Structure 1
Amino acid sequence: MNLTHEYNVSLFDDSAINLIGDTNICLMTVSPTSQYARTHVKAIDWSYVVGSHINLDSIYEGPQISFFEVVIRYLGGLISAYDLSGDDLMLQRAEDLADWLLPAFGTSSGFPVTHYQLGLNPNGKRAGRVVTADVGSLALEFTRLSQLTSKDFYYDNVQKIIDLFDGDQWVSPDRLGTLFPQTVDAEDPESLSEKYSMGGMMDSYYEYLIKQHQLLRGRRSQYSKMYTSAIESARAHLIRTYDIESPGGKNFTVIGSVEAGVFTPTLDHLSCFAGAMIGLGAKLLNRKTDLDLALKHTDSCVWAYESTQTGVGPEEAWLLGGNEYTRWKIVNYKGKAFRELHRSQDRGPTVMDSRYIGRPETIESVYYMWRITGDRQWQDRGWRMFTSWMESCVTEFGFASLKDVNRWPPVLSDHQQSFVLAETFKYYYLLFSEPDLISLDEYVLNTEAHPFRLESPGKPAKRYWSKPDESVNKAYEPPGINEGERGYGTFIQQWDRVDLDKISENDLQVYNKVKGIDTEDSYIT
Structure 2
Amino acid sequence: MFLETYHAYEQYAFGYDVLKPITMNGSNFDSVLAGWGGTIVDAMSTMIVMGLGDSEEYKRALEHVKKTDFTSTSVHHPEREALGVVSLFELTIRYLGGLVSAYELNGERPEERFLVDKAISLADKLAVGWYKHNRIPFNYVNINEGKPDNLSDTANYAEAGTLTLEWSRLSKYTGDDRYRNLSEGSAIALSENEGIFPNLYAMEIYPTNESTSGDLVTFSGGTDSFYEYLSKYPYLIGDPQHPFLETYGQSIKSAKQYLVSHPQLKPFTFLTSYSEKLFNGTRNSFSHLGCFAGANIALYGRLRRSDEDTQLGLEIAESCAHIVDAASTRLEAGGWGWRDRKTGRAQGHKFVSPGQILHEEDFGVFLTIEDFNGSPEIQESVLYGYRMTGDPYWRDLGWALFGAMKTYLDTGRGIAGIQNVNDRSSKLDDETPTYFYAEIMKYLYLLFDDPDHYSLDDYVLNTEGHPFKVQHNEAFGKVQGNFPYKRLNL
TM-score (normalised: structure 1): 0.75
Partner of 2:315: 296
Residue number among 374, 380, 403 corresponding to 2:396 in the alignment: 380
State which of 42, 46, 61 in structure 2 corresponds to 1:24.
46
| Pick aligned residue for 1:47 from 66, 71, 82 | 71
Match of 2:336 in 1: 317
Structure 2 counterpart of 1:477: none
**8 Å Cα contact 1:107/1:127 also seen in 2:** no
- Residue 441 of structure 1: aligned partner: 457
Task: Give structure 2 stretches of 5+ with no counterpart.
Answer: 1-15, 19-26, 347-356, 474-490
Distance 2:414 2:177 in 1: 42
- Which amino acid letter does the alignment assign opposite residue 32 of structure 1? E
Aligned position for 1:176: 197
- Check conservation: 2:38, 2:94, Cα contact below 8 A: no
| Cα distance, 1:314 vs structure 2 | 0.7
> What is the aligned counterpart of 1:131 among 149, 156, 159?
156
- Cα distance in structure 1, aligned partners of 2:260 and 2:428: 33
Letter in 1 for 2:105: L
Q: Is the 8 A contact 1:107 1:126 kept in 2?
A: no
Partner of 2:420: 404
% identity of equivalent residues: 28
* CA offset digits 1:373-418 (Å, max 9, x no partner): 1111101111112112211111121112122112234542333222
Q: Is the 8 A contact 1:104 1:120 kept in 2?
A: no
Which is greater in Rg? Answer: 1
1:5·1:66 contact (CA, 8 Å) conserved in 2? no
Partner SS for 1:21:
helix
**1:437-465 Cα distance to aligned partner (Å, 9 max, x none):** 211111110000000112359xxxxxxxx
Other structure's SS at 1:29 match:
coil
For 2:57, the equivalent position in structure 1 comes to: 33
Q: Partners in 1 of 2:38 and 2:214 — Cα distance?
A: 38
Counterpart-to-counterpart distance in 2, 1:69 and 1:394: 26
Q: Could you tell me how far apart the structure 2 residues matched to 1:33 and 1:341 are?
A: 46
Q: Which residue number corresponds to residue 149 of structure 1?
A: 174
Is the counterpart of residue 287 in structure 1 residue 341 in structure 2?
Answer: no
Among 230, 242, 266, the alignment partner of 2:285 is 266
Answer yes or no: is the 8 Å Cα contact 2:220–2:286 preserved in 1: no
Query: What are the residue-to-residue correspondences of 1:202-241 with 2, within 5 Å?
Result: 202-218=223-239, 220-241=241-262
Q: 1:211, CA displacement in angstroms?
A: 0.2
Residue 251 of structure 1: SS of its match in structure 2? coil
Deviations 1:195-218 (A, max 9, x none): 211001110000010000101212
Q: Find the residue that maps to 1:177 and give its secondary structure.
A: coil
Q: Give the AA of the match of 2:157.
A: T
Indicate the RMSD between aligned Cα atoms, in angstroms: 3.1
CA contact (8 A) 2:360 2:366 kept: no
What's the counterpart of residue 12 of structure 1? Answer: 35
Q: Distance in 2 between matches of 1:340 and 1:100?
A: 49
Structure 1 residues 12 and 395, CA gap change in structure 2 (3 angstroms)? closer
Q: Flag the 1:263–1:63 CA change in 2: closer, same or farther, 3 A.
A: same
Distance (whole Å) between structure 2 residues aligned to residue 104 and residue 230 of structure 1: 27
1:106 equivalent among 101, 109, 131: 131
Distance (Å, rounded) in 2 between the aligned partners of 1:112 and 1:340: 43
Q: Residues 339 and 274 from structure 1, CA distance in 2 versus in 1: closer, same or farther, beyond 3 angstroms?
A: farther
Query: Which residue of structure 1 lines up, in the alignment, with residue 5 of structure 2?
Result: none
**183-192 vs 267-276, greater mean Cα deviation:** 183-192
Query: For residues 67-114 of structure 1, what are the alpha-carbon distances to aligned partners after superposition, in whole Å with 9 as ceiling and x for unaligned?
Result: 110000000001100111123222222222222222322344222231
Contact 1:264 1:319 in 2 (8 A): no
Contact 1:265 1:320 in 2 (8 A): yes
Compared with structure 1, are the counterparts of its residues 177 and 349 closer, same or farther at alpha carbon in structure 2 (3 Å cutoff)? same
Contact 1:181 1:196 in 2 (8 A): yes
1:354 to 370, 373, 394: 370
Note closer, same or farther for the CA distance 1:192–1:289 as it changes in structure 2 (3 Å cut).
Answer: farther
Q: TM-score, structure 2 length as denominator?
A: 0.80
Pair 106,121 (structure 1): closer, same or farther in 2 beyond 3 Å? farther
Q: Secondary structure at the match of 2:268?
A: strand
Return the alpha-carbon distance in structure 2 between the equivalents of residues 93 and 153 of structure 1: 17
1:472 corresponding residue in structure 2: none
CA contact (8 A) 1:110 1:161 kept: yes
Q: Which amino acid aligns with 2:454?
A: I
Amino acid corresponding to residue 73 of structure 1 in structure 2: R
Q: Secondary structure at the match of 2:71?
A: helix
**Mean Cα displacement is larger for which, 76-85 or 253-262?**
253-262
Q: Which runs of 5+ in 1 are unaligned?
A: 54-58, 245-249, 328-337, 458-525
Structure 1 partner of 2:485:
none
- Aligned partner of 2:138: which letter? V
Pick closer, same or farther for the CA change 1:6–1:223 going to 2, 3 Å.
farther
Does the Cα contact within 8 Å between 1:180 and 1:192 map onto a contact in 2?
no
How far does residue 153 in structure 1 lie from its aligned partner after superposition? 1.0
